[in-house]
Amino acid sequence: MHTPTAPPPPYPYYDNRGFQGDHSHLYVNRAPYNGNQVPYNGNQAPYNVYTSAPPPNHRVSPVQHYLPNVSPHQSVPANQHVKTLGWFSAGRKRLVCICTTICILLVLALIVAVLCWYFVTTSCEKKCGTSKQCVKASQWCDGTPECPNGEDESYCARLYGEKFILQAYSPTKSAWMNVCFDDWNNNYGIQTCQSIGYKRSSYNNTYLENVTSDLKGFVSINTSASFDKLHTSVRSRDYCPSGKVISLRCINCGTSSRNKVNRIVGGTLAQNGDWPWQVSLQIGRSHVCGGSIITPDWILTAAHCVEGGYANPNQWNVYAGSTIRSSGSISLVQRVISHPNYNKETKDNDIALMKLKTSLAFSSTIKPVCLPNAAMPWSDTQSCWISGWGYTTQGGTTSSNLMAANVPLIDSKTCNKPSVYNGAISSAMICAGYLSGGTDTCQGDSGGPLVTRTNSLWWLVGDTSWGTGCANVNKPGVYANVTVFLDWIYLQMQTYS
**Helix, strand, or coil here: 384?**
strand
Could you count the other beta carbons within 10 Å of the beta carbon of residue 341?
A: 15
b/e per residue 390-417 (b: at least 16 CB within 10 A): bbbebbeebbeebbbbbbbbbebebbbe
Whole-angstrom distance, CA of residue 278 vs CA of residue 294: 10
Direct distance between the N- and C-terminal alpha carbons of the chain, in angstroms, rounded to an integer: 34
Whole-angstrom distance, CA of residue 228 vs CA of residue 145: 17
Can 182 be counted among the known catalytic residues?
no
Whole-angstrom distance, CA of residue 49 vs CA of residue 54: 14
State whether the Cα torsion 127-130-132-133 is positive or negative.
negative
In order, the DSSP letters of 39-104 are PP-SSSPPP-TT---PPTT----SS-SS----PPP----TT-PPP--GGG-HHHHHHHHHHHHHHH
Selecting among 348, 350, 445, 463, the annotated active-site residue is 350
Whole-angstrom distance, CA of residue 374 vs CA of residue 162: 9
Contact yes or no for 408/383 (Cβ under 8 A): yes
Contact yes or no for 245/179 (Cβ under 8 A): yes
Whole-angstrom distance, CA of residue 452 vs CA of residue 479: 13
The pairing of beta strand 175-179 with beta strand 218-221: parallel
Could you count the other beta carbons within 10 Å of the beta carbon of residue 419?
A: 10
Q: Which positions ≥6 away from 252 have C-beta within 8 Å?
A: 202, 204, 367, 368
Q: Which positions ≥6 away from 383 have C-beta within 8 Å?
A: 261, 263, 406, 408, 452, 453
Whole-angstrom distance, CA of residue 340 vs CA of residue 287: 25
Whole-angstrom distance, CA of residue 245 vs CA of residue 165: 7
Selecting among 202, 304, 426, 440, the annotated active-site residue is 304
b/e per residue 242-280 (b: at least 16 CB within 10 A): eebbbbbbbbebbbbebeeeeeeeebeebeebbbbbbbb
**Helix, strand, or coil here: 109?**
helix
Determine whether 136 is exposed, middle or buried from the number of CB atoms within 10 Å of its CB (0-12, 13-18, 19+).
Answer: middle
Can 446 be counted among the known catalytic residues?
yes
Can 73 be counted among the known catalytic residues?
no
Selecting among 154, 256, 322, 446, the annotated active-site residue is 446
Whole-angstrom distance, CA of residue 26 vs CA of residue 284: 13
Whole-angstrom distance, CA of residue 308 vs CA of residue 321: 28
Q: Give the active site residues.
A: 304, 350, 446
